Amino acid sequence: MTTPLSPPSALKEPSVDVSRGWTATLSLANGAIWVGWFGPLQVLLALQAAELAPGAGMPKESVLAWVTGIGAVVSMLSNPVFGALSDRTTSRFGRRSPWIVGGSVTGAAALVLLALAPGLVTMTLAWCLVQLTLNAAFAAVTASVPDQVPHRQRGRVGGWLGAAQMLGVVAGTGLASLGGLLAGYVACAVFCAVGVLPFVVRHKDPALSPAEREPFHWQGFVAGFWLSPRRYPDLGWAWLTRFLINLGNSIVLLYLLYYLRDRVQYDDPETGVLILTAVNGVTLLATVVVSGVWSDRVGRRKPFVLWAGVLMAGASGLLAVWQTWPGALVAAALLGIGFGVFTSVDFALMTDVLPSAAARGKDLGLINIANSLPQVAAPALSAPIVVHLGGYRVLYGVAAAIGLLGAVLVHRIRGVP
């Protein structure tokens, strides 16, 4: 009788706890990628759009909308593709490390090219290249968690990754504001390229041998990007839960500036948005790691996701019924608390329902669409509501209902407690 071959080390379910150093360096790599994204998104792209708008013959708002909109589509499509490619990588350096290094270094080069873009077309192409390359790195970073972190640690690791994401946004904004346009892009590029190195240099990435890799067929490769909800119901319900809660949150944030100016009639709405963002960020950082650790200790995910979604829905409803500056402050704090819990524990939940060890990168890339698609759907839903269907009171009521539905649907997941 022939003994069945054991799974290759890259495909085994991890059982050994990762160290604090592993978590810290992975979080740094994750934060470095977010610096590369949000330095431009928060500051640099808007400045560049204003410079190039006269030559493009359109308002700066339209220039920025075109560039970021096309880039968002590239981001949404490229993440699962690069995740699938990293799943099949047989480098002696592992499946993920080559993509982390290659994606971040080429992303850094693309950021410098973006700084030198002379017109709208080249700016758009360069930003799409930034999205393409950094998504290659990001897909590999997130796939490293189910590759190497046992289930009992994934809440904690997810919490630190969530904290690194928020800090990456802040650091990217700060680096982008150091000097002129070129200096800001170069600073973000250097941080992006250097920040991933401690993880790939200090920690071994399990390798997949060519003999252990499944044969490649174009038809099967393309078909793999469809995961049937009937075949994988837990993954389908988890994806829908994430999409709906993120959609509710995106609707809340989209018109916050206009809400403060037109409904709350806050004297300085730009400063108001900054204050609300700071309040939201502080409460998020206060809960994102703690909730992940707590979830690991009690061995449960769904109650955390449920009550995080309920709390966020309540904060959205608060904006609908208490349209004052104090109401906005309370809502921002509650949203931060809820989203901090949701960010860490839902990530752990998602890694717990992945159907195949051989396709973790691709499957996580498909899951990440539930993060990016709401940014496309929110404007399409919000604009007609604000203009024609009742204004901000109805808008935030709808956001609350969508988020609450997402929270309730987490109960449909059967394979995770």
Whether residue 9 lies inside any domain: the answer is no
> In terms of residue numbers, what domain contains 43?
20-223
Q: Global pTM? A: 0.87
146 & 285 share domain: no
Please write the tens of the pLDDT for every residue from 144-188: 999 999 999 999 999 999 999 989 988 888 898 887 899 999 999
Looking at the structure, tell me whether residues 208 and 248 fall in a common domain.
no
Q: pLDDT at position 391, please? A: 84
Q: Are 406 and 240 in contact (CB under 8 A)?
A: yes
The pLDDT value recorded for residue 23 is 97
Q: Cα–Cα distance between 280 and 292 in angstroms, integer? A: 18
pLDDT of amino acid 319: 94
Q: Do residues 100 and 148 both lie within one domain?
A: yes
Which of 223, 247, 277 is the last residue before a domain boundary? 223
Considering the domain architecture, whether residues 188 and 281 belong to the same structural domain is answered as: no
Instruction: Give whole-number Cα distances, 79 to 83, 103, 372, in Å.
Output: 6, 11, 10
**Are 162 and 255 part of one and the same domain?**
no
> What distance in Å separates the CA atoms of residue 215 and residue 11, rounded to the nearest whole number?
16
pLDDT at site 31:
96
Burial 199-224 (b: 16+ CB within 10 A, else e): bbeebebbbbeeeebeeeeeeeeeeb
15 within a domain of the structure (yes/no): no
Q: What angle do CA 314, 320, 321 make, to 5 degrees?
A: 90
Check whether residue 36 and residue 183 sit in a common domain: yes
Distance CA 209, CA 342 (A): 36
Residue 168 lies in a domain: yes
The answer to the question of residue 290 being in a domain is yes
Residue 214 shares a structural domain with residue 276 = no
- For residues 357 and 244, membership in a common domain is answered with yes
Q: What is the pLDDT along the chain (417 residues), one digit of tens a residue?
A: 444 455 667 888 899 999 999 999 999 999 999 999 989 987 899 889 889 988 888 888 788 878 888 888 899 999 999 999 999 999 999 999 999 999 999 999 999 999 999 999 999 999 999 999 999 999 999 999 999 999 999 999 999 999 999 899 888 888 988 878 999 999 999 999 999 999 999 999 999 888 778 877 787 778 788 888 889 999 999 999 999 999 999 888 877 878 888 888 888 887 888 788 889 889 999 999 999 999 999 999 999 999 999 999 999 999 999 999 999 999 999 999 999 999 999 999 999 999 888 889 999 999 888 888 887 788 788 878 888 888 889 999 999 999 999 999 999 999 898
Report if residue 2 sits inside a domain. no
Q: Which of 198, 223, 248 is the last residue of a domain?
A: 223
Phi, psi of 337 (to 5 degrees): -60, -50
- If one counts the domains in the chain, the total is 2
| pLDDT of res. 4 | 46
Final residue before a domain boundary, out of 175, 192, 223: 223
Residue 1 maps to a domain: no
Q: Are residues 208 and 103 in the same domain?
A: yes
Q: What's the pLDDT score for residue 5?
A: 52
**Rounded distance between C-alpha atoms, residue 133 and residue 105, angstroms:** 8
CATH number at residue 85: 1.20.1250.20
| Total length of the chain | 417
Query: Are residues 335 and 254 part of one domain?
Result: yes
Q: Are 382 and 332 in the same domain?
A: yes
271's tokens: 């400063």
Asked if residue 48 belongs to a domain, the reply is yes
- Rounded distance, CA 159 to CA 139, Å? 18
Q: End-to-end distance of the chain based on CA atoms, in angstroms?
A: 38
- 29 in a domain, yes or no? yes
Q: Are residues 188 and 257 in the same domain?
A: no
